[in-house]
Amino acid sequence: MIKKCLGLQSDLDDAGIGYEPSPFSKRLAVDKTTDYKVVEFDKTYKGDKKVLMICTEERYMLMENGKKFSSGNHPVESCQPIMHLVNAGFDFDVATPTGKPACIEMWALPQKDQVVLGFFNKTAKPKFDAPLSLADIMADEKKLSQYVCFFPPGGQGAMLGLPEDENLGKLLGYAREKDLFIMSVCHGPAAFLAAKQEPFLFDGYKIACFPDSIDKQTPMVGYLPGKQTWYFGEKLIERGVTIVNTGADATVAEDRKLITGASPKACQELGVRMAKKLLENFA
């Protein structure tokens, strides 16, 4: 009762299945605007190569206490970096493991950011609602060869289904074999755990991502309805990855063809830096 009065109690989602962050944690962690600013690039891409965003098609994360967190991919972390790549001339596709609609944390939309909201509604949402199948892409070499960058965005939903997906593991191996770019942010690097190849594809890499230490604290303010059953940062460290940040900040890490960001605060720099790298290599 006290938690509810203070706004610290997680709210049931519209489906009555899982819990969204509490009113207090939404005020604390969900910004109504972003720091998105248009960047003018010296040149733009004129070819037909694309970026592939790999999203989850699963919404609910089971907590230790049996409650479910209503998650998905974070809309800002999905859209803001891609907006810079689009401005640089690169088109993008969205894929989920089987082609089911991508799950998006709609409660995390920046309600007063008309530019990002406009991109989400007009450009991204139709692709989220009718994505490609990653399984189909991996079965067709011609389809696969049209992509020069792969992007699993953030949101706790990146921990649902993607770390176990065999086709995603093969896709990451393909990206490394072909020396292509990979971009990710916040919880997105959880998807890297799909790579089951030995040695681990990202052994020895330095990345930025959302800290496990904060995920372990968020149940106290009702962002999560309970403790997670596992933490992706711990798993990546076990596989030889070094996490360079300790806060949910604007850190961007670049290691070979992998560029990663720590949180939504990193999305501006992450997108601009990846756009420049793609232009240097393909324009």
103 a catalytic residue: no
Select from 106, 65, 71, 58 the least CA-distant residue to 228: 65
How far is the C-alpha of 139 from the C-alpha of 55, rounded, in Å?
18
**122 and 133 Cβ atoms separated by less than 8 Å:** no
- Two tokens, residue 203: 């052994």
130: how many CB neighbours lie within 10 A of its CB? 12
Catalytic member of 103, 149, 186, 267: 186
Query: Rounded to a whole number, what is the distance in angstroms from the first to the last CA of the chain?
Result: 59
Q: How far, in Å, are 39, 43, 257, 278 from residue 46 at the CA level?
A: 17, 9, 22, 12
Select from 48, 55, 56, 53 the least CA-distant residue to 145: 48
Q: Which residues are the active-site residues? A: 186
